């Protein structure tokens, strides 16, 4: 059973919920919506004399004026600093302006203010750090990394710095280096979801599914109702060949009522692989309703079900394939569907039905040699030799099917005891592809013709 359906799994869309180096997770903790981040960010306003600039006694009045506005009226603080900052004023004010602009999500302006601060005070640790943050927020990971690394060279980093460095590296498609940074970040802040997510993404990008599976157990324990973790772990189970565990995960997702079309289609493939056709069919039908199943996949599934002898399941799948609004078939897929219906009819001993479907195939695609030859055999079985010859003759004009069609025509004429015509077709077949068994058959047919 598993051998019969291995092709279904090999073509399955496993990434029903995946993290990849191309599409990195969104940072959740490093935003002003997070009170802990906001509190940490506010700390950056506090100066450290060795690595941050001082203000003069004359500037103290401006500083005292600005500080209350930072929380109460940042727009007013920005306006006041815009007027007050000069080329001679303390870099601390450029830095404060950068922070205020960053809080207002004016990232380009914030970066310009931080760079102005750094120009005045080249060893400005917090300006490098926050400029790096701003570049990351703007999606410029190369510059973000440069500024964060410069900050790290000035002073030992905290968990957020290591985590942001990891985030830059993963976005720059350097997961192995990112993994080292995330490990440092998690060591300093073991409960951070962002950095754990980063570490998980590194494992996935580095194709280390066993490590990813272990981390996902932790995520699942913390958030058992989060279907994304179950789906993502299912992907990793498939990567290590544990399809039974993958199926169990997607069953949980389905039971949670959170399975989208892609997850349902994959669940169906996994259930078929385990020989659980009823469960598979339920998932496939729902996947088509959800719009997550692809027509060519469903045609493959129907074909496998017929091959497995699961004719009722194949009929149900084909009926849904024809009725579901999401299942828009191409012309070729329409033809493939008719071929499947013909096969299903033949397996059900419905010769007339099979012939009707194949006639539709030939009508749509006159050069469909397989359908022409099958029709020829069906008509021969029904005793309609004229139609059988007609279809075989048409097939003989198609290069890929000519040899097989000529042999079929020879057999038809033998059945009619027209050995001369049969010999003619066999000689034509030998010219295309000489075979010993055909030569033997031709000899017997020629001898029969002499006896007539």
With b for 16 or more beta-carbon neighbours within 10 A and e for fewer, the 140-165 pattern comes to bbebbbbbbebbbebbebebbbbbbb
Tell me the domains of the chain and their CATH numbers: 1-16+207-328 (1.25.40.10), 19-202 (1.25.40.10)
**Cα–Cα dist 220/226, whole Å:** 7
User: What burial class does residue 353 get, using C-beta atoms within 10 Å of its C-beta: 0-12 exposed, 13-18 middle, 19+ buried?
Assistant: middle
Query: Mean pLDDT per segment of 10 residues, for the chain of length 452 residues?
Result: 44 48 62 62 54 80 87 90 92 94 94 96 94 96 97 93 96 96 95 93 95 96 94 95 94 93 92 91 92 88 90 94 86 88 87 88 87 88 89 92 93 92 93 92 89 76
- Report the pLDDT value the prediction gives residue 324, as an integer from 0 to 100: 87
**Cα–Cα dist 318/321, whole Å:** 5
* Residue-level length of the chain: 452
- Report the pLDDT value the prediction gives residue 335, as an integer from 0 to 100: 87
DSSP annotation string for 390-424: HHHHHHHTSGGGHHHHHHHHHHHHHHTT-HHHHHH
Alpha helices, DSSP H, located in 11-59: 35-43
- Report the pLDDT value the prediction gives residue 163, as an integer from 0 to 100: 96
Cα-based distances in Å from 105 to 31, 118, 167: 10, 20, 19
**Cα–Cα dist 397/415, whole Å:** 22
Q: Are 70 and 77 in contact (CB under 8 A)?
A: yes
**Cα–Cα dist 105/74, whole Å:** 12
- Report the pLDDT value the prediction gives residue 11, as an integer from 0 to 100: 42
**Cα–Cα dist 50/342, whole Å:** 83
Q: What angle do CA 258, 203, 160 make, to 5 degrees?
A: 90
């Amino acid at each position: 059973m598993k051998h019969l359906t291995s092709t279904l799994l090999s073509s399955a869309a496993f990434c029903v919920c995946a993290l990849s180096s191309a599409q990195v997770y969104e940072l959740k903790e490093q935003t002003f919506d997070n009170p802990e981040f906001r509190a940490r960010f506010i700390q950056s306003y506090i100066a450290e004399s060795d690595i941050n600039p001082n203000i003069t006694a004359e500037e103290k009045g401006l500083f005292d004026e600005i500080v209350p506005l930072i929380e109460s009226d940042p727009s007013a603080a920005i306006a006041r600093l815009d007027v007050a900052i000069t080329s001679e004023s303390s870099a601390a004010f450029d830095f404060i302006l950068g922070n205020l602009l960053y809080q207002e999500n004016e990232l380009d302006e914030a970066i310009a203010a931080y760079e102005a601060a750094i120009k005045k005070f080249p060893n400005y640790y917090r300006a490098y750090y926050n400029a790096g943050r701003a570049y990351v927020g703007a999606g410029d990971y190369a510059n973000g990394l440069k500024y964060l690394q410069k900050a790290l060279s000035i002073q030992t980093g905290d968990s957020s710095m290591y985590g942001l460095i990891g985030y830059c590296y993963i976005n720059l498609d350097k997961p192995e280096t990112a993994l080292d940074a995330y490990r440092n970040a998690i060591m300093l802040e073991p409960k951070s979801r962002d950095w754990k997510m980063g570490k998980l993404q590194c494992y996935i990008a580095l194709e280390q599914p066993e490590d990813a599976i272990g981390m996902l157990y932790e995520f699942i324990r913390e958030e058992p109702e989060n279907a994304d973790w179950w789906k993502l772990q299912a992907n990793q189970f498939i990567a290590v060949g544990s399809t039974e565990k993958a199926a169990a995960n997607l069953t949980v997702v389905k039971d949670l009522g959170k399975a989208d079309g892609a997850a349902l289609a994959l669940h169906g493939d996994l259930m078929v692989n385990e020989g659980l056709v009823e469960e598979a069919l339920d998932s496939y039908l729902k996947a088509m309703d959800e719009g997550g199943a692809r027509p060519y996949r469903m045609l493959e599934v129907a074909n496998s079900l017929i091959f497995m002898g699961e004719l009722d399941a194949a009929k149900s799948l084909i009926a849904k394939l024809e009725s579901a609004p999401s299942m828009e078939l191409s012309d070729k897929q329409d033809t493939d569907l008719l071929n499947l219906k013909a096969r299903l009819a033949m397996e059900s001993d419905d010769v007339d039905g099979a012939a009707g479907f194949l006639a539709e195939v030939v009508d749509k695609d006159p050069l469909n040699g397989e359908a022409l030859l099958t029709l020829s055999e069906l008509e021969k079985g029904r005793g309609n030799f004229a139609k059988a010859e007609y279809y075989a003759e048409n097939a003989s004009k198609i290069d890929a099917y000519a040899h097989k069609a000529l042999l079929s025509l020879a057999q038809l004429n033998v059945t009619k005891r027209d050995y001369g015509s049969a010999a003619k077709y066999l000689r034509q077949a030998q010219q295309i592809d000489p075979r010993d068994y055909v030569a033997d058959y031709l000899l017997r047919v020629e001898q029969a013709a002499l006896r007539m």
